[in-house]
Amino acid sequence: MNEAVKFHFVVDGDDFTSAGQASVQIKKNLRQLGISPETIRKVSIAMYEGEINMVIHAGGGEADVLIYEDRIEILLTDNGPGIANIDLAMQEGFSTAPDNIRSLGFGAGMGLPNMKRYTDSMQIDSALGKGTRILMTVNL
Amino acid sequence: MKIATIKELLDAEVVCGEDMLDREVYSACGSDMMSDVLAYVKDQAVLLTGLVNSQVVRTAVMMDMVCIVFVRSKVPTEEMVELARESGLVLMKSRKRMYEACGKLYANGLHGNGASK
A21-32 and A37-57 helices, crossing angle to 10°: 160
pLDDT in tens, A25-81: 999 999 999 999 999 999 999 999 999 999 999 999 999 999 999 999 999 999 999
**What are the φ and ψ backbone dihedral angles of B113, each rounded to 5 degrees?**
50, 45
Q: Work out the average pLDDT over B92-108.
A: 97
CB proximity list for A120: less than 8 A, separation 6 or greater = A71, A137, A138, A139
Q: Looking at the predicted structure, is the pLDDT value of residue B116 above 70? A: no
The ipTM (two decimal places) reads 0.89
Q: Looking at the predicted structure, is the pLDDT value of residue B114 above 60? A: no
pLDDT in tens, A110-138: 999 999 999 999 999 999 999 999 999 99
pLDDT at site B117: 35
Instruction: Break chain B into its structural domains and give their ranges.
Output: 3-107
- CATH, domain B3-107, list 3.30.450.20, 3.40.1390.20, 1.20.120.420, 3.30.70.380: 3.40.1390.20
Average pLDDT, chain A: 94
Q: Which residue of B has its CA nearest to A37?
A: B64
pLDDT in tens, B38-61: 987 677 899 999 999 999 999 999
Contacts of B117 in chain A (CB under 8 A): 117-118
Report percent pLDDT > 90 for chain B: 87
User: How far does B6 lie from chain A, in Å, by closest CA?
Assistant: 24
Structural domains in chain A plus CATH codes: 5-139 (3.30.565.10)
Residue B72, helix vs strand vs coil? coil
Question: Which of B53, B56, B64 lies at the smallest CB-CB distance from A37?
Answer: B64
Average pLDDT, chain B: 93
Q: Any idea what DSSP says for residue A14?
A: S
Element at B80 (helix H, strand E): helix B78-87
